[in-house]
Amino acid sequence: MNKIVNNYREIIRQIEFYKNKFSKTSKEVNLIAVSKNFPKQDIQILIDEGHTIFGENKVQEATSKWPQLKLNSREIKLHLLGPLQTNKIKPALKIFDVIETLDREKLAKKIKKYFDAEKETSKHKFFVQVNIGNEDQKSGVEVNYTKEFVKWCINDLNLNVNGLMCIPPIYGKAEVYFKELKRLCNDSNLEHASMGMTGDYGEAIRCGATFVRIGTGIFGGRD
DSSP assignment of 110-143:
HHHHHHHHHT-----EEEEEEETT--TTS-SEEG
Q: What is the pTM of this model?
A: 0.95
Dihedral angle over CA of 80, 216, 8, 98, nearest 10 = -10
What confidence score (pLDDT) does residue 197 get?
95
Domain boundaries, the chain: 3-219
Segment 53-80 shows an average pLDDT of 96
What confidence score (pLDDT) does residue 24 get?
75
What confidence score (pLDDT) does residue 102 get?
98
Closest CA to 169 of 117, 130, 207: 130
What confidence score (pLDDT) does residue 55 get?
98
Segment 114-127 shows an average pLDDT of 84
What confidence score (pLDDT) does residue 121 get?
61
**Which class would CATH give 3-219?**
alpha beta
> Using CA atoms, how far apart are residues 9 and 15, in angstroms rounded to an integer?
10
> Using CA atoms, how far apart are residues 123 and 166, in angstroms rounded to an integer?
23
**CA distances to 40, 53, 64, 147, 167 from 98, in Å:** 20, 10, 18, 20, 17
98 or 116, which is more confident? 98
Centre a 10 Å sphere on the Cβ of residue 122 and count the other Cβ atoms it contains: 15
Centre a 10 Å sphere on the Cβ of residue 24 and count the other Cβ atoms it contains: 8
Q: Does residue 1 register a pLDDT over 70?
A: no
The pLDDT tens digits of the residues spanning 152-205 come to 999 999 999 999 999 999 888 999 999 999 999 999 999 999 999 999 999 999
Cα separation of the two ends of the chain: 23
What confidence score (pLDDT) does residue 120 get?
65
